[in-house]
A and B are shown apart, each in its own frame.
Chain A
Amino acid sequence: GNSVTQMEGPVTLSEEAFLTINCTYTATGYPSLFWYVQYPGEGLQLLLKATKADDKGSNKGFEATYRKETTSFHLEKGSVQVSDSAVYFCALTDPGGSQGNLIFGKGTKLSVKP
């Protein structure tokens, strides 16, 4: 079945460090890919998305490129800030068209220290 695998957390970085959170997926067809972020005490928010192969989603300094050949959608940021501390979720739409079925990974907790 369709699934998303994220790197295990927690990830702890110093401010201004480079961030990579790995995400790989298994899917039939051509899913759209998403990164959602959950700040402490809040619900999930869409961070960025990509809808087809080689698309790059970007927002707030974060980037991720849809790599069909490696079935990956790794999240990167060149210089993290304390305010980036949150849980990050990789997700894909169900290419089978199941309504509302956004398949999420388990989440990766990021802690950025000053």
Chain B
Amino acid sequence: ETGVTQTPRHLVMGMTNKKSLKCEQHLGHNAMYWYKQSAKKPLELMFVYNFKEQTENNSVPSRFSPECPNSSHLFLHLHTLQPEDSALYLCASSQDAMTGTFNEKLFFGSGTQLSVL
């Protein structure tokens, strides 16, 4: 148990559906992240929130919409997804947003396995 909880664990949705992924951390961290893990590809950083403010959007399509209402919760709202968006979506947190000289440890949730039909 890493202290980062993601729900649901599995999600199947059609291309016209709207769904949301939820992430919650009980570690008192100030930074939260969404990563996408696709088969045979490196993890892709999608979004970074630091103190509830979005500090990075890594050229993610607008059909993915993040929301961070407080430092403990992070959502990823999904709408009109494509089959190629099927992947494992990982949430992570750290004490503060990582910089090149601030060697923070990331704590990951178990992920939501998303299948888009």
Contact = CB atoms under 8 A, between A and B. Distances in A.
B43 A43 contact: no
A93 B42 contact: no
Give chain B's interface residue range (CB within 8 Å of chain A).
20 to 34
Judged by DSSP, the binding face of A is loop
A49 interface: yes
Nearest to A29: B100
Contacts of A36: 106
Given A93-B98, A104-B42, A99 B106 contact: no
A42 B41 CA distance: 18
Contact of A99 (B2, B4, B42, B98): B98
Interface residues of A, number: 29
Contact of B43 (A29, A42, A49, A89): A89
Interface string A75-107: 000000000000001000111111111111111
Interface in A20-77: 29, 31-32, 36, 41-46, 49, 51
B48 interface: yes
A41 B109 CA distance: 10
A44 B111 CA distance: 9
Contacts of B33: 100
Contacts of A110: none
Given A96-B100, A97-B100, A100-B31, A106 B4 contact: no
A79 B2 CA distance: 26
Instruction: Choose among A31, A101, A103 the residue with the greatest number of B CB atoms under 10 Å from its CB.
Output: A101
A102 B94 CA distance: 12
A100 B56 contact: yes
A106 B106 contact: no
A93 B56 contact: no
Contact of A43 (B41, B92, B99, B100): B92
9 contacts: A32-B103, A43-B4, A43-B6, A43-B110, A93-B99, A98-B56, A98-B99, A100-B56, A104-B43
Given A99-B56, A99-B99, 9 more contacts: A4-B42, A36-B106, A43-B4, A43-B111, A45-B108, A51-B103, A95-B100, A101-B98, A102-B106
